[in-house]
Amino acid sequence: MHAVAEAQPNIALVKYWGKRDIGENLPAVGSLSLTLDSLWTRMQVDFGGGGRRDELEVNGKPAAAMQVRVSRCLDRVAGVDRPRARVVSESNFPIGAGLASSASAFAALVVAAAHAAGKEPDQLALAKLAGQASGSAARSLYGGIVELKAGESDIDVYSLLDAAAWPLTVIVAVNSEIAKPVASGEAMIRGAATSPFYASWVARQEADLAAARRAVAARDFAGLAGVAEHNCLKMHSLMWTSRPPIVYWNPVTIACLEAIRELQAAGAPVFFTMDAGPQVKAVCPADAADEVRTTLAAVPGVKRTMESGLGAGARLVDQT
């Protein structure tokens, strides 16, 4: 009746943006991501404490805003006739600020809830359950470089490359820890309904995925850099051309992009990506990480940097 699981966030290089089915939360496009190792969310789920309602605590405080999504996810994992649950979540990085906290949270939640309910679904079944709560969470069930394939009525998720097979580092330049103005789910729906770029975004995603897969297979850093930056800027163009527009960037975001362009011009192997928030994430081979971190940390407005290699997928850490 009690289980604890841990999961790491993931950073998409070919992005998920757009839903094929809003009710089932099915993505309109496939995506490809890096699972991190040093950032984590730990979820504890207890069923059967006798409470009349589910209770959720996030980083030591009651979290009413997230409660509904968590309860719905628990219903899918453990059934609607399950006992009420007490859920305690703890993360070592800011939540709701474009750092993929919902990915690690729901990946850890499905693993903990399934074990606490005495179920043993396989990893893909858990990934699908996590994906119904947050599309990107499906990818955090797996480690290393992960691809999520979006089919007509379902998803498939698998690890393309083990974490150890290509030592890449992700450096996050944190410039704001304020929760994002528009949630990603709402922003995706708005983009699909209003951006003139949405149809071509969906139509071209397969080509970007194929290019990224080829680059991963060949450990072609420049190839991966090219497709990742292009895909990220297309996603943000779609956000900017939504009505009303959605702009997650701030002036420090642009300053970080310029700093990365200067590193690239000087020959450093590094590329950027950004999600539904103002933070810039730089990806580089592990041996270039010191230079990239020092450069980003010196950009005025960057509050701090976080650094992570690639890690494993979500896992159970305790069960009683």
- Alpha helices of 16-96 — where are they, by DSSP H? 64-78
* DSSP conformation letters of 217-253: HTT-HHHHHHHHHHHHHHHHHHHHTSSS------HHH
Shortest Cβ 212–ligand PMV spacing (Å)? 12
Sheet containing strand 85-91, strands side by side: 61-62, 55-58, 85-91, 41-47, 2-7, 315-319
Output the six-digit token pair for 163.
């974490």
If the CB atoms of residues 117 and 306 are measured against ligand PMV, the closer one turns out to be 306
Helix or strand or coil: residue 282?
strand
Shortest Cβ 15–ligand PMV spacing (Å)? 4
Rounded Cα distance, 201 and 237, in Å: 10
Shortest Cβ 42–ligand PMV spacing (Å)? 19
Which residue is associated with the tokens 């997928």? 313
If the CB atoms of residues 6 and 147 are measured against ligand PMV, the closer one turns out to be 147
Shortest Cβ 176–ligand PMV spacing (Å)? 16
- Count of other CB atoms within 10 angstroms of residue 7: 31
Shortest Cβ 158–ligand PMV spacing (Å)? 16
If the CB atoms of residues 136 and 305 are measured against ligand PMV, the closer one turns out to be 136
Shortest Cβ 312–ligand PMV spacing (Å)? 18
Q: Give me the amino acid identity at 280.
A: V
Shortest Cβ 249–ligand PMV spacing (Å)? 13
Rounded Cα distance, 201 and 189, in Å: 14
Nearest Cα neighbor of 98 from 12, 35, 197, 34 is: 12
Please, what sign has the CA dihedral across residues 216, 29, 270, 11? negative
If the CB atoms of residues 169 and 273 are measured against ligand PMV, the closer one turns out to be 273
If the CB atoms of residues 16 and 47 are measured against ligand PMV, the closer one turns out to be 16
Helix or strand or coil: residue 183?
coil
Nearest Cα neighbor of 34 from 142, 174, 150, 155 is: 142
If the CB atoms of residues 169 and 279 are measured against ligand PMV, the closer one turns out to be 279
Sequence-distant (≥ 6) Cβ neighbours of residue 16 within 8 angstroms: 27, 29, 30, 31, 135, 136, 148
Q: What is the largest CA-CA distance in the chain?
A: 62
If the CB atoms of residues 147 and 275 are measured against ligand PMV, the closer one turns out to be 275
Shortest Cβ 52–ligand PMV spacing (Å)? 30
Shortest Cβ 14–ligand PMV spacing (Å)? 8
If the CB atoms of residues 44 and 184 are measured against ligand PMV, the closer one turns out to be 184
If the CB atoms of residues 78 and 100 are measured against ligand PMV, the closer one turns out to be 100
Contact set with ligand PMV (CB under 6 A)? 12, 15-17, 31, 100, 102, 134-136, 184-185, 275-276
